């Protein structure tokens, strides 16, 4: 079953689709003391340099050196060790992957089978959480947190019963999410606060020209949109076309009947519509594509008109009376449509809550949601040496790349993995594969050919998240916007890092304080002729792996200097650290109307691919074809139920 938009969605739900998703990917920050009193300042000292603590590492993170080489050798060349050292370790459950699905699978299994169940999670990275990574800076006695990947709790009230129960189990209940809202500044757009200042900036000969503080309203024709567009360094003719497009005064499909219009918006790409119907030059398209680049990863060449609207692109108000009405309703009721919460380190705090629930020794003094953001985590407790006397029933073994999973004739599962160059083997009663789909056929070559083909169908959406520690926030504060879209730059999004106090975190208070800047790069290019969405995702993934840290650093320095230089910023002295989180295998692939057929119920690739294989089940957001945390939780619950039925 695909996730394509139906005629009823178009007629009755476009207001929600066109606006509800887009603001889940906006960003910003400001002085949170305007909303509630902050606690007294606390001095935070960084972990000892000799202590293993990945969140404070800078440079290239995400898919870091050492995390992918073994998997690439297996996936690209079929190479893996010939011999393995068999460890005297047998588990009730081995989980491959310590991301959200993997952690959730361990949680569900232990809850059902009892706390004495022996569980091992293996992950190829040096930190847990999958895409939900924590970036942590320390400077002048302050700790600054930011997003290394997955960000929001979107509409938690709409989670399934089992996913909602997991959140409740780790303390994220209705009362706590209500408190999260109170602890989030009103001008912080990343969680859907529509009143937050969001600007757009285009490069010019004298640095960037930044215009407007209400860009997310301007694209729907709100007051002031004309002034914003006139301030941008665009040809007057292009300004005129954008003003007409944003105004909603003209229906660009007015000669079509409603039925013909429906067919058009579901069969024509958004960018083709902009060029052929609106008359925009191709050079202007990044300005209209910038929001959807971050919600979907694609440009408007790979999305239909209706898919683009559902991912935050402007123009819905230029679809005649229906579009104009839904755009007006969207502006009026935006705050009631969005329900998203965030920890200061994004969903990394959710991962930390799950880990501490599974292995209390990792943070024995942590109270829970009220101090998860600032709690000290002892990574040595994740998988302690037996000589310490600490033998937890649940373990997380990092820097361990699984290369083989198979059933044996003795009603067991053998799991082969490589850790720091050593080939090892363990056994288990059951295994849940919470890694990404495309690697599974290499891990389990005995799977049916149809299932292996289905697992290889989707291509994950690549992204790059960068965090930059600044000596202070003086120059950034002079933007008079909490977040800036930069459609023509390498990093199309520049924002202050999260400034809520959720989880006990104390964000920067004034522009004089050190601050972190959060930047996002969508590497998926425009398609060449005949390239599908999956093709361009592969190209984008290749660009991510081929770009060295030095190039990302140069892009970051040049872009911030151009954007902030007129406000006194000097990248040579003001930048104190840079962390680049490259995510070549990011969002789960969601089917595209321009490329993918309408499969019968149960016959879509993700449905065929997730079928259990004896004592082996599959749990990841790929298996749901949905890049959301609750989809990962739902997949984990399904996999555990398959193995414990």
CB atoms under 10 Å from CB of 611, counted, come to: 16
pLDDT at 20: 33
Percentage of the chain beyond pLDDT 90 is 76
pLDDT digits (tens, 9 = 90+) for 40-93: 444 566 777 789 999 999 999 999 999 999 999 999 999 999 999 999 999 999
Strands (DSSP E) found in 328-421 = 340-342, 394-397, 400-407, 413-419
Tell whether the model's pLDDT for residue 491 goes beyond 50. yes
- Please report the beta strands in 276-361, taking only residues with DSSP state E, as ranges in sequence order: 340-342
Long-range contacts of 11-15 (CB under 8 A, 24+ apart): 11/322, 14/306, 14/309, 14/310, 14/316, 14/322, 14/323, 14/326, 15/326, 15/327, 15/329, 15/330, 15/333, 15/337
pLDDT of residue 339: 62
- Over residues 178-234, the pLDDT tens digits come to 999 899 988 887 777 777 889 999 999 889 999 977 888 888 888 889 999 999 999
Tally of CB atoms within 10 A around 638: 20
Tokens of 522: 């969508």
CB of 498 closer than 8 Å to CB of 188: yes
Mean pLDDT comparison of 23-32, 293-302, 396-405, highest-scoring range: 396-405
Q: Decide if pLDDT at 24 tops 80.
A: no
Predicted pLDDT at 6: 43
User: 84, 416 in Cβ contact below 8 A?
Assistant: yes
pLDDT of residue 154: 83
Residue found by looking up tokens 């606006």 in the block: 19
Q: What is the pTM of this model?
A: 0.91
Give pLDDT, residue 222: 82
Distance CA 264, CA 270 (A): 10
Mean pLDDT of the residues in the chain = 89
pLDDT score of 196: 84
Average pLDDT over residues 505-515: 94
The DSSP secondary-structure symbol of 191 reads G
Range name among 15-19, 458-462, 486-490, 542-546 with the lowest pLDDT average: 15-19
Per-residue b or e along 28-65, where b marks 16 or more CB atoms closer than 10 Å to that residue's CB: bbbbbeebeeeeeeeeeeebeeeeebbbbebebbbbbe
Q: pLDDT band for position 107 (50/70/90)?
A: very high
Task: Write out the two tokens for 523.
Answer: 């590497």
Question: Is the pLDDT at 25 greater than 60, yes or no?
Answer: no
Q: What is the pLDDT of residue 103?
A: 98
Instruction: Name the region of 410 (left: φ>0; alpha: ψ -120 to 50; beta: rest).
Output: alpha
């Amino acid at each position: 079953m695909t996730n394509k938009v139906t005629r009823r969605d178009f007629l009755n739900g476009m207001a929600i689709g066109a606006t509800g998703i887009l603001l889940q990917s906006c960003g910003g920050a400001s002085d949170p003391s305007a909303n509630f009193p902050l606690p007294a300042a606390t001095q935070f000292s960084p972990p000892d340099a000799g202590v293993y603590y990945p969140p404070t590492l800078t440079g290239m993170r995400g898919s870091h050196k050492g995390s992918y080489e073994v998997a690439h050798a297996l996936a690209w060349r079929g190479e893996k060790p010939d011999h393995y050292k068999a460890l005297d370790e047998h588990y009730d459950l081995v989980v491959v992957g310590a991301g959200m699905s993997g952690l959730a699978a361990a949680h569900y299994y232990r809850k059902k089978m009892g706390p004495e169940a022996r569980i091992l999670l293996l992950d190829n990275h040096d930190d847990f959480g999958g895409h939900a990574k924590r970036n942590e800076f320390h400077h002048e006695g302050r700790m600054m947190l930011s997003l290394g990947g997955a960000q929001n709790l979107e509409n938690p009230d709409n989670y399934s019963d089992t996913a909602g129960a997991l959140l409740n189990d780790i303390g994220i209940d209705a009362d706590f999410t209500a408190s999260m809202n109170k602890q989030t500044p009103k001008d912080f757009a990343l969680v859907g606060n529509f009143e937050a200042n969001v600007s757009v900036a285009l490069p010019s000969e004298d640095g960037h020209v930044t215009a407007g503080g209400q860009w997310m309203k301007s694209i729907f024709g709100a007051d002031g949109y004309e002034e914003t567009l006139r301030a941008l360094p665009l040809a007057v003719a292009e300004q005129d076309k954008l003003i007409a497009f944003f105004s909603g005064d003209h229906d660009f499909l007015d000669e079509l009947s409603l039925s013909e219009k429906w067919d058009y918006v579901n069969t024509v790409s958004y960018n083709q519509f902009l060029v052929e119907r609106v008359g925009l030059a191709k050079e202007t398209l990044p300005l209209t594509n910038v929001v959807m680049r971050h919600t979907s990863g694609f440009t408007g060449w790979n999305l239909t008109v209706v898919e683009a609207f559902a991912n935050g692109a402007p123009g819905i108000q230029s679809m005649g009376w229906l579009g104009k009405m839904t755009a007006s309703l969207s502006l009026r009721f935006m705050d009631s449509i969005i329900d998203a919460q965030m920890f200061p380190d994004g969903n990394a705090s959710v991962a930390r809550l799950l880990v501490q629930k599974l292995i209390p020794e990792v943070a024995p003094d942590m109270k829970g949601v009220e101090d998860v953001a600032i709690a000290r985590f002892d990574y040595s407790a994740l998988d302690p040496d037996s000589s310490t006397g600490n033998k937890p029933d649940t373990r997380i073994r990092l820097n361990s790349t699984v290369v083989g999973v198979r059933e044996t004739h003795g009603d067991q599962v053998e799991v082969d993995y490589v850790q720091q160059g050593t080939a090892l083997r363990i056994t288990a009663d059951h295994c849940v594969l919470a890694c990404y789909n495309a690697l599974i056929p290499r891990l389990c070559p005995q799977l049916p050919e149809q299932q292996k083909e289905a697992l290889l169908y989707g291509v994950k959406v690549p992204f790059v998240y960068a965090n930059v520690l600044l000596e202070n926030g003086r120059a950034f504060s002079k933007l008079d916007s909490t977040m800036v879209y930069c459609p023509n730059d390498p990093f199309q999004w520049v924002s202050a890092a999260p400034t809520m106090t959720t989880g006990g975190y104390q964000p920067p208070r004034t522009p004089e304080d050190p601050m972190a800047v959060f930047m996002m790069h969508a590497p998926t290019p425009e398609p060449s002729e005949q390239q599908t969405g999956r093709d361009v995702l592969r190209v984008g993934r290749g660009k991510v792996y081929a770009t060295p840290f030095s190039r990302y650093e140069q892009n970051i320095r040049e872009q911030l200097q151009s954007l902030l230089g007129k406000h006194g910023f000097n990248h040579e002295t003001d930048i104190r650290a840079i962390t680049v989180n490259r995510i070549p295998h990011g969002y789960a692939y969601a089917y595209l109307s321009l490329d993918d057929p309408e499969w019968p119920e149960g016959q879509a690739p993700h449905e065929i691919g997730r079928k259990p294989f004896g004592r082996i089940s599959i749990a990841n957001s790929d298996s749901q074809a949905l890049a959301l945390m609750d989809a990962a939780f739902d997949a984990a619950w399904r996999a555990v139920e398959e193995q414990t039925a």
